[in-house]
Structure formats: structure tokens, C-alpha cells
A and B are shown apart, each in its own frame.
Chain A
Amino acid sequence: ILNVEQSPQSLHVQEGDSTNFTCSFPSSNFYALHWYRWETAKSPEALFVMTLNGDEKKKGRISATLNTKEGYSYLYIKGSQPEDSATYLCAFAGGSQGNLIFGKGTKLSVKP
């Protein structure tokens, strides 16, 4: 059974703090790694889709890196804002015919 682990499970930070989370996934048969943000009472929203080892993606204050050889991805948020409060999910796609396997997420709370 393929496992995708995310850490930490939850995180409480002050507005303005920078933070990062980890997603660990199987290093074999890698095809893609997705990051989603899920705000309460909303639908999960795609942040990044990463396919190449060494990929770095950025969207505003949020960025992500990918290491497929060792099986991890980092998501960074610079200068956290209250509106960044959400659960951040990563999902691993193994093989061209496989489905997405989601981690349980990291719940971020940003205090004003």
C-alpha cells in the first residue's frame, strides 16, 4: 500500500511568520506531486503540480520544491497571513495510469 505522509499535522503561527510543511511519498514510480489548499467550507484548490526532480514552483508568497529521488516535497509560506489559514494537502501520482494518493494534510492556523 502506497503511503503519503505529511508533517506536521497542524501548525499555529503568528501573522508575518514564515512556515513550511513536508510531504513524503514513495520515491519509486513517481509521476507527479500535487499540492492543494483546502479552506473551511470551500473546495480544495490546486496550488501546484510538480513533475520533475528539482522542480521549484511559486505562487505569490507560497512556493514548493520537489525531490523525487528521496521522496519529499516542501511547501513554504513566506510572511503568513490570516487568509492562509487552511489545510494543505499533497497528493502523489505514481505511474501514468495511477490515481492520486492524498496525505492527511497539514492544518495551518495563522493568528492576527
Chain B
Amino acid sequence: KAGVTQTPRYLIKTRGQQVTLSCSPISGHRSVSWYQQTPGQGLQFLFEYFSETQRNKGNFPGRFSGRQFSNSRSEMNVSTLELGDSALYLCASSLARVSPGYEQYFGPGTRLTVT
């Protein structure tokens, strides 16, 4: 069974640009969550999508947005990039909503560098 895939794996952007990251969940998984990890911080929750609807959103500005398609693939968009957006962005998929106790399967992440 193929794992969670994320593209691209590495990305360098300049301040003010926008970026779109992609996540393909494990086949059959309907929930996709996105996280940001910066040095010294734990994984910070960005949002969760389930059945093409955003179910939860973390404490991030509106520049961070996402969507989920009917095949459960998800994209995350960051507009007007700032230096502080440099981070590892992880997506994770699970069979159903996270909270009922379904474990999450993480992708390899996208390393975004903003210069």
C-alpha cells in the first residue's frame, strides 16, 4: 500500500510570493491534516480536511489556506510569503476524523525556504 506522498519535497521562494503544496493520502483515507514545524517548536496544526470540507483550523493567519478534492488529495496554499513561513510542512492522512482515535500516517514533508 503506497504511503502518503507530498510534492514538492523542497522549495525555495522569495518574500511576497505564493506557494502551493500538494498531499496525496493513503488510498481509502478521507482525512488529511496539515502541520507546520519550525525549529524549537512542536508540530503546529494548520487545518484538517475531511470529505472535501475544512473541519478544523489552527491559529494561523488567513494567508494559509487549503482545500481537498473528491479523491481526498489535498493542497495547501500560502500567499504573500514571509521569512517566518520557512518551515517543514507535513501532511498526515487517517481513515476518519483524527479525534476518534485513528492514528495518522505522515508524509515525508515539504521543506519550504523563504528568502
User: How far, in whole Å, are A104 and B98 apart by their CA atoms in the complex?
Assistant: 19
Whether B106 lies near A93 (C-beta < 8 A) is: no
Report how far A46 CA is from B35 CA in the complex, Å: 15
Residue A71 is within 8 A (CB to CB) of chain B in the complex = no
CB-CB < 8 A to A42: which residues of B? 108
A99–B101 CB distance below 8 A? no
Q: How far is the CA of A100 from the CA of B42 in the complex (A)?
A: 12
A43 contacts which of B41, B45, B109 (Cβ < 8 Å)? B109
Please tell me the number of chain A residues within 8 Å of chain B, measured between CB atoms. 27
Whether B43 and A43, one on each chain, are in contact in the complex, defined by CB atoms closer than 8 angstroms, is no
- Residues on A with C-beta less than 8 A from B102 are 49
- Chain A 10-32 residues near chain B, CB threshold 8 A: 31-32
Residues of chain B within 8 A (CB-CB) of A34 are 103-104
Please measure, in the bound complex, the distance between the C-alpha atom of A94 and the C-alpha atom of B4, giving whole angstroms: 25
| In-complex Cβ contact of B101 among A32, A45, A94, A104 (8 A) | A32
A104 to chain B, nearest CB (A): 4
B99 near A99 with CB under 8 A, answer: yes
Query: Could you write out 6 A-B pairs with CB less than 8 Å apart?
Result: A31-B99, A49-B101, A96-B99, A99-B48, A99-B58, A99-B98
Other than the given A49-B102, A100-B99, 18 more pairs (CB < 8 A) read A4-B42, A34-B104, A43-B4, A44-B106, A45-B106, A46-B104, A46-B105, A49-B103, A51-B101, A91-B43, A94-B99, A96-B99, A96-B100, A98-B56, A100-B98, A102-B35, A102-B44, A104-B41
